[in-house]
Structure 1
Amino acid sequence: MKSVLCEMLGIEYPIIQGAMAWVADADLASAVSNAGGLGMIGTGHDPVEIVNEKIADMKTKTDKPFGVNIMLLNSHVEEVVKAVCASGVKVVTTGAGSPGKYMDQFKAAGISVIPVVASVALARRMEKDGADAVIIEGMESGGHIGKSTTITLLPQVVDAVDVPVIAAGGIGDGRGMAAAFMLGAAGVQVGTRFVVARESNAHQNFKDAILKAKDIDTVVTGLITGHPVRVLRNRLTREYLKAEKEETSKEKPDFDRLEKIGTGALRKAVVEGDKNYGSMMAGQIAGMITKEETCKEIIEDYMTTSKKMILAQAKLWTE
């Protein structure tokens, strides 16, 4: 199964691994790239020295295409962009803003730029700014989310832009992948399922929480702040939501109080394995994930199942 995305990125399968903070390191990303997908290194708020180390580590683990995610709110973003452009990396995804001001640098370095968007308007803007493709992320995703679902946002963005569109959010297996293709996607981005990959260095407590999750075990926090985040329920979310409700009732909400509650919580989940006060970012498909697999097994399952679904539907409609 080939797509324009595979040709653009030089990959075998149209599957991109989400650049999850504290999770998307060289071990995970290289395993995805070696299995035929596009592994992504997450950089978050990293200073340029750390970004260079991550890229160098990645190059020792794979000779396949891989990408780097740049968080545009990073205080070191100027230096990070320069370093990535000089590194030989050929794919960049971006979040938390527009990469427009850096587009000339990226293009001069031969980098394909793929911003993450949560609306039609933003997708159009990114295309105008020179994006090579866009990732639409529905509210089913883990971590920071928008307001639209994947199944409603995807076809609207496909109709609005001429660049390839990648679907993210709620793509838990090959059935979701096939559905994304039917709605016009050129590929999919997968996050939560790769968290529990055998090559993932996420703490086992975090993995186990995803493996044990049911369909209703995620909750959205931070709505009052304008930056909602989907996570698994625990003591942290109960305390946060209680505080959020209290602040909502005030004329001037104390956003610093809410920020203090969440500061450092993602690291607690991914690195320390704190099941109670760690921010265990996971998508709504967590309830579908029941076992740890290698990245190769995960990608093969997506591809095999999606092909079966597409062929079965084609046969159904021709009979």
Structure 2
Amino acid sequence: MKLTNNKIVQLLNIKYPILEGGMAWVGTAKLAAAVSNAGGLGTIGSGNMDASLLKKQIDTIKQLTDKPYAVNVIMLNPHIDEVIDLIINEKVPVAILGAGNSSKYIPKLKDNGITTLAVVSSENLALRLENAGADAIIGEGMECGGHIGDVTTMVLVRKLASILSVPVIAAGGIADGPGALAAFVLGAEAIQMGTRFIATYECEAHETYKRKILEAGIRDTIITGQKMGHPARIIKTPFGKKIAKLESSSPEEAEEALVGSLMKAFVYGDEEHGSFMAGQSVGLINEIKSVKEVIDDIMSYLEKNQIVESETR
């Protein structure tokens, strides 16, 4: 396959079919710019940002790259309407909508010339968002970090590729060339990675966060929030185990403890009160690399295995 013929490369006007996952706090403008400059699609994770905070991130990425980039928007953001308006006003090249049914916002973004992708964890929502006008669907398996569904990447991506007309992007559990190769064999046109990009020099996460990723094995994550209706995968820590217990005995206390816990992990590396969100792919990551090295390694593997044609980088 020639990369110039790849549907996601064409759609997003990028060099390689690799996207950065939309990680709240972790997905800063600096990291997103590094991904875009290395040939992928960098993504600012807007999380619960209001428009003023997101505007600063957008201003920063415009200074750091002239390549396409995306803003990830979660349906749980209380400021979502003003964030959508800002994306339109700032002419952000790509919007990635996730964590819920985004069909309400897709037509508005599309009508204003914004390429719009949607993250799903089920085939029913995928079909609904395709009908709403999504340009591509990101199938995110339960191996991923952060908020998760209940279907594996291998099953979800294969199903989506067999029923959708728009391109499918595989996410969840992918951190290297073999994982990317598997995604393409399943029918994906591109991959999305989050956890792998945390363990890079350009990521601004606390060094403790990165160290925990390097030290973790494939079974060293835990799911919190299941009984509260918003399951999220984090690295297993005493804090995570405490939350899991509180969910049964005192859900209110568990909710209160989770507020700001990702920030505490990202900014301070706080092991007692922080949620170190990461996918099961932590067990595949054993060194810090530059963003460019991560992307080049994957593309070299895909070329070696004849998924894409070899080219000079």
Code of the aligned partner of 1:162: S
Query: Does the residue aligned with 1:63 lie in a helix, a strand or coil?
Result: coil
* d(CA) in 1 for partners of 2:104, 2:224: 31
Q: CA deviation at 1:308?
A: 2.1
Deviation at 1:116, TM superposition (A): 0.5
Residue in structure 2 matched with residue 211 of structure 1 by the alignment? 214
Instruction: Report 1:81-120 matches (<5 A).
Output: 81-120=84-123
Q: Does 1:288 align with 2:284?
A: yes
Amino acid at match of 2:220: D
Alignment partner of 1:44 is 2:47: yes
- Shift >6 Å, 4+ stretches: none
- Give ranges in structure 1 of 5+ residues lacking alignment: 248-253, 312-319
Report the counterpart of residue 16 of structure 1 in structure 2: 19
In the other structure, the counterpart of 1:232 is 235
> Comparing 32-41 with 72-81, which one deviates more in the overlay?
72-81
Secondary structure of the equivalent of 1:69? Answer: strand
CA offset at residue 310 of structure 1?
A: 4.2
2:299 aligned partner: 303
Does 2:259 correspond to 1:256?
Answer: no
Contact 2:175 2:196 in 1 (8 A): yes
1:236–1:277 CA contact under 8 A, matched in 2: yes
Alignment partners' CA distance in 1, 2:111 and 2:157:
30
SS of 1:188 mapped into structure 2? strand
CA distance in 2: counterparts of 1:98 and 1:116, whole angstroms:
9
Whether contact under 8 Å (2:99, 2:147) holds in the other structure is: no
1:90 to partner: Cα distance: 1.5
Cα distance in 1 for residues equivalent to 2:82 and 2:273: 33
**1:28 has 2:31 as partner:** yes
Identity %: 44
* Kept in 1: contact 2:103–2:128 (CA 8 A): no
Change over 3 Å in CA distance of 1:276–1:93 after alignment to 2: same
Asked whether the equivalents of residues 235 and 277 of structure 1 are also in contact (C-alpha less than 8 Å), the reply is no
Greater mean deviation of Cα atoms: 170-179 or 212-221: 212-221
Instruction: Give the C-alpha shift of residue 19 in structure 1.
Output: 1.2
Moved more, 99-108 or 49-58: 99-108
Greater alpha carbon shift after TM alignment, 75-84 vs 94-103? 94-103
Q: 1:149 aligns with which of 152, 173, 194?
A: 152
Taking the aligned partners of 2:142 and 2:100, their CA distance within structure 1 comes to 18
Give the aligned length.
304
CA deviation after TM superposition for structure 1 residue 121, in Å: 0.3
- Alignment gaps of 5+ in structure 2: 308-313
Aligned match of 2:310: none
What's the TM-score, normalizing by structure 2?
0.94
8 Å Cα contact 2:119-2:137 kept in structure 1: yes
What is the aligned counterpart of 2:225 among 222, 239, 243? 222
Letter in 2 for 1:234: T
Q: Is the partner of 2:169 in helix, strand or coil? A: strand
Look up the equivalent residue of 1:166 and give its one-letter code: I
SS of structure 1 residue aligned to 2:56: helix
Asked if the contact 1:178/1:307 (under 8 Å) is kept, the reply is no
Encode CA deviations 1:162-206: one digit per residue, 9 max, x unaligned.
000000001110101011000000100000010011000000000
Q: Superposition pairs for residues 126-205 of structure 1, below 5 Å?
A: 126-205=129-208
Distance 2:283 2:158 in 1: 25
Name the CA distance, whole Å, in 1 between partners of 2:133 and 2:287.
40
Distance 2:56 2:259 in 1: 25
Distance in 1, matches of 2:92 and 2:244, equals: 40
Q: Aligned partners of 1:151, 1:310: CA distance in 2, in Å?
A: 21
Higher Rg = 1
